[in-house]
C-alpha cells in the first residue's frame, strides 16, 4: 500500500471514530432526557393524578414539560445524532466540519433543558421560554444546512430516491413545523400569556404535529429502510407507502387547522396503509436477522405496529365520542408514544445503534427482551386503565395506573442501562455471523 492510500485510510478511520463518538454523545444525552425530565416526571405526574383521581390536579406545565422531554429531549436527540452519523454516508456527501455537529448538540440540549426547566419552574419565563425555543430552532437549522437537501452526492449521476427518503423528508418537515410553532407560541405567550404552559387548544394541535407529523413518519422511514432486511419481509408496496405518507400529512394539516374529525380518519387510514405497504403483519419471506439482539425482536416490531393501529382507532373514538374524552385522548397518545414509538426505538435502536457506535455489539439481548416485554405490559395496563379511570367507567382502575407507570419506568431504565453498557464496553472485532450487524 502506498503512503497516500495509507494516509487516506487513516483519515477515514479517524473520521469514523469521531462520528461514532458524536453519535454516542447524542444517544447518551437522549437517554438522560428520557429517564429524568421525561419518564421520572411522567411517573410523578401519573402518581399525583391517580392519588387525587383527577387529571386537572397537576399544572399543565408539568405535563407539557414531560411530553417535551420525551419527544424532543429523547427521540429527537437520537434522530439528530443518527442523522449526522448516517445521512452523509448514505448520500455519499463530502465530510462536514465536525464542529457543526457538536455546536448543534450543545444548542439543542441547552434549548431542550431550558425549555423543560422553565415550564416546570416559571422563573423569568417571559424571556427564557422564547430564548429556549429559538435555541432549539437554531440547532435544527444548523443540522438542516449541514446535511440537508442543499448537499448533493460527490460522485456519479443522481439515483432516484428510495421510498423511505420521502418519509424522512415528511418527518423533517414535521419537526421544522413543530419548532416554528413553538417559537411563535412562546413569543405570543411572553407578550400576553399568564403562564409558560401552552393553552389547551393550541397544545392539542401542536401535539398532533410533533407526534403524527414528526415521530410517526420518521419511524416509518426507518421501518422502510431497515425492516425488509432485518425481518426478511416481502418486497414493499412503494405506492401504498407514499399514499400512507400523503394521508398522514393531510391528517396532520387538518388537525393543525382544527378539523379533528377528518384528521383522525386520515391518520388511521395512513397508519393502515403504512402497515400494509411494509407488509409487517405478513409472514416473513427470509429468515430474520437477529444475530446480536434477542430473537423476539421481530415479534416486538409487529406488536409496535399493532399499537399504532390502536392509537389511530382510539383517536377516532375520542373525537366521535360526543363528550369530553381526556382519558381516551391520553390513551391514544400513549398507545402511540409508548406502544409504537418507544417500542420501535427499543427494538430497531438496539439493533442498529451498537454498530453505529463504533462496531459494538449489544451488551445484553436478555435485557433487551426484558425491557420490551415490560414496556408492552406497562403500556397495556396504562392505555386500558387510563380510559377506565379518567372517563369514570371503573374506579378501581385508578389503582392500576401507578403500577403501570412503575412498570414502564423499569422498562425504560433497562433500555438505558443496556445501551449505556454497550457504549461503555470496548468495541469488538466483527467477524463471522456478527458481521450481519454492520451490514
Ligand atoms: C414511561 C412512562 C410514561 C408515563 C408514566 C407518562 C405519563 C404521562 C402523564 C401522566 C401525562 C398526562 C396526561 C395523561 O395522563 O394522559 C402524560 C402526557 C404526555 N406524555 Fe407521557 N408518560 C410516559 C411515557 C411517555 C413517552 C415515552 C412519551 C413520548 C415519547 C410521552 C409523551 C407524552 C406527551 C406528548 C404527553 C402530553 C403532553 C401535553 O399535554 O402537552 N409519554 N404522560
In this predicted structure, the answer to whether residue 159 has a pLDDT above a threshold of 80 is no
Q: Which of 38-52, 164-178, 260-274, 421-435 has the lowest mean pLDDT?
A: 421-435
Pocket test for ligand 1, best of 31, 40, 42 (most atoms within 8 A of CB): 42
The residues, any chain, with a CB within 8 Å of residue 181's CB and separated by 6 or more, are 206, 209
Q: Specify the pLDDT at position 438.
A: 43
**Residue with CA nearest ligand 1 atom 36:** 67
pLDDT in tens, 232-261: 999 999 999 999 999 999 999 999 999 999
Confidence band of 295 (pLDDT split at 50, 70, 90): very high
Q: Residues 114-140: what's their mean pLDDT?
A: 97
Helix (H) or strand (E) holding 143: helix 125-147
Query: Which ligand 1 atom is nearest residue 404's CA?
Result: 5
Residue 99, Cβ density class (10 Å: 0-12 exposed, 13-18 middle, ≥19 buried): exposed
Confidence band of 182 (pLDDT split at 50, 70, 90): very high
Pocket test for ligand 1, best of 205, 334, 349, 382 (most atoms within 8 A of CB): 334
pLDDT in tens, 328-368: 999 999 999 999 999 999 999 999 999 998 889 999 999 99
Cell digits for 7? 494516509
The number of beta carbons lying within 10 Å of the beta carbon of residue 253 is: 16
How far CA 223 is from CA of 97, 128, 231, in Å, comes to 29, 37, 10
Q: Could you tell me which residue, 427 or 346, shows the higher pLDDT?
A: 346
User: Residue 71 C-alpha to ligand 1 middle, in angstroms?
Assistant: 10
In this predicted structure, the answer to whether residue 435 has a pLDDT above a threshold of 50 is no
In this predicted structure, the answer to whether residue 214 has a pLDDT above a threshold of 50 is yes
Q: How far apart are CA 439 and CA 437, in angstroms?
A: 6
Q: Specify the pLDDT at position 157.
A: 63
Q: Residues 280-304: what's their mean pLDDT?
A: 95
User: Residue 211 C-alpha to ligand 1 middle, in angstroms?
Assistant: 12
Global pTM reads 0.94
Which of 62, 32, 65 lies closest to 412 in space, CA to CA? 32
- Ligand 1 binding residues, C-beta < 6 A: 39, 42-43, 45-46, 49, 55, 63-64, 66-67, 70-71, 75, 203, 207, 330, 333-334, 337-338, 341-342, 405, 408-409, 412
Query: Which ligand 1 atom is nearest residue 206's CA?
Result: 41
In this predicted structure, the answer to whether residue 432 has a pLDDT above a threshold of 60 is no
Q: Which of 107-111, 357-361, 413-417, 424-428 has the lowest mean pLDDT?
A: 424-428
Q: Specify the pLDDT at position 32.
A: 98
User: Residue 66 C-alpha to ligand 1 middle, in angstroms?
Assistant: 6
Radius of gyration of the chain (CA): 21
In this predicted structure, the answer to whether residue 437 has a pLDDT above a threshold of 90 is no
Q: Specify the pLDDT at position 9.
A: 85
Q: Give percent of the chain with pLDDT exceeding 90.
A: 85
Pocket test for ligand 1, best of 70, 211, 335, 412 (most atoms within 8 A of CB): 70
SS3 269: helix
Cell digits for 286? 427470509
How far CA 251 is from CA of 201, 210, 269, 315, in Å, comes to 17, 13, 9, 12
Q: Specify the pLDDT at position 155.
A: 59
3-state DSSP helix/strand/coil % of the chain, to nearest 5: 80, 0, 20
In this predicted structure, the answer to whether residue 145 has a pLDDT above a threshold of 70 is yes
Q: Specify the pLDDT at position 152.
A: 59
Q: Could you tell me which residue, 90 or 331, shows the higher pLDDT?
A: 331
In this predicted structure, the answer to whether residue 154 has a pLDDT above a threshold of 60 is no
Q: Specify the pLDDT at position 322.
A: 77
Helix ranges, 3-124 (H): 3-33, 41-52, 60-68, 77-90, 98-120
Q: Considering the chain, what is the average pLDDT of its residues?
A: 93
In this predicted structure, the answer to whether residue 274 has a pLDDT above a threshold of 50 is yes
Q: Residues 119-145: what's their mean pLDDT?
A: 97
The residues, any chain, with a CB within 8 Å of residue 342's CB and separated by 6 or more, are 375, 412
**Residue with CA nearest ligand 1 atom 11:** 63
Q: Could you tell me which residue, 41 or 4, shows the higher pLDDT?
A: 41
**Residue with CA nearest ligand 1 atom 19:** 67
In this predicted structure, the answer to whether residue 436 has a pLDDT above a threshold of 70 is no
Amino acid at each position: 500500500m502506498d503512503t497516500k492510500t495509507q494516509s487516506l485510510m487513516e483519515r477515514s478511520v479517524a473520521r469514523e471514530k469521531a462520528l461514532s463518538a458524536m453519535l454516542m454523545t447524542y444517544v447518551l444525552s437522549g437517554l438522560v432526557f428520557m429517564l429524568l425530565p421525561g419518564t421520572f416526571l411522567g411517573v410523578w405526574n401519573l402518581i399525583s393524578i391517580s392519588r387525587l383521581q383527577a387529571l386537572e390536579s397537576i399544572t399543565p406545565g408539568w405535563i407539557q414539560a414531560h411530553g417535551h422531554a420525551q419527544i424532543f429531549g429523547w427521540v429527537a436527540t437520537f434522530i439528530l445524532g443518527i442523522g449526522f452519523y448516517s445521512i452523509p454516508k448514505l448520500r455519499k456527501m463530502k465530510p462536514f466540519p465536525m464542529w457543526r455537529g457538536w455546536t448543534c448538540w450543545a444548542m439543542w440540549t441547552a434549548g431542550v433543558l431550558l425549555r423543560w426547566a422553565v415550564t416546570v419552574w416559571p422563573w423569568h419565563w417571559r424571556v427564557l421560554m422564547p430564548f429556549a425555543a429559538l435555541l432549539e430552532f437554531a440547532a435544527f437549522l444548523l443540522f438542516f444546512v449541514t446535511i440537508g437537501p442543499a448537499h448533493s452526492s460527490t460522485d456519479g449521476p443522481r439515483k432516484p430516491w428510495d421510498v423511505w427518503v420521502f418519509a424522512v423528508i415528511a418527518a423533517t418537515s414535521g419537526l421544522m413545523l413543530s419548532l416554528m410553532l413553538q417559537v411563535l407560541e412562546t413569543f405570543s405567550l411572553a407578550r400576553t400569556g399568564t403562564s409558560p404552559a401552552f393553552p389547551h387548544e393550541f397544545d392539542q394541535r401542536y401535539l398532533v404535529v410533533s407526534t403524527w407529523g414528526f415521530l410517526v413518519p420518521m419511524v416509518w422511514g426507518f421501518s422502510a429502510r431497515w425492516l425488509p432486511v432485518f425481518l426478511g419481509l416481502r418486497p414493499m408496496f412503494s405506492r401504498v407507502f407514499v399514499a400512507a405518507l400523503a394521508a398522514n400529512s393531510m391528517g396532520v394539516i387538518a388537525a393543525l387547522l382544527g378539523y379533528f374529525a377528518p384528521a383522525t380518519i386520515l391518520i388511521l387510514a395512513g397508519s393502515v396503509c403504512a402497515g400494509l405497504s411494509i407488509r409487517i403483519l405478513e409472514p416473513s419471506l427470509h429468515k430474520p436477522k437477529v444475530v446480536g439482539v434477542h430473537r423476539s425482536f421481530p415479534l416486538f416490531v409487529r406488536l409496535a405496529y399493532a399499537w399504532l393501529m390502536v392509537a389511530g382507532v382510539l383517536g377516532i373514538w375520542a373525537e366521535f365520542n360526543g363528550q369530553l374524552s381526556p382519558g381516551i385522548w391520553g390513551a391514544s397518545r400513549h398507545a402511540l408514544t409508548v406502544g409504537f414509538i418507544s417500542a420501535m426505538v427499543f427494538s430497531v435502536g438496539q439493533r442498529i445503534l451498537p454498530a453505529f457506535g463504533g462496531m459494538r455489539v449489544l451488551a445484553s439481548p436478555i435485557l433487551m427482551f426484558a425491557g420490551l416485554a415490560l414496556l408492552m405490559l406497562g403500556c397495556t395496563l396504562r392505555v386500558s386503565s387510563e380510559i377506565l379511570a379518567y372517563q369514570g367507567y371503573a374506579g378501581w382502575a385508578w389503582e392500576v395506573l401507578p403500577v403501570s407507570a412503575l412498570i414502564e419506568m423499569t422498562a425504560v431504565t433497562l433500555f438505558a442501562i443496556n445501551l449505556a453498557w454497550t457504549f461503555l464496553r470496548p468495541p469488538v472485532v466483527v467477524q463471522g455471523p456478527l458481521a450481519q450487524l454492520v451490514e
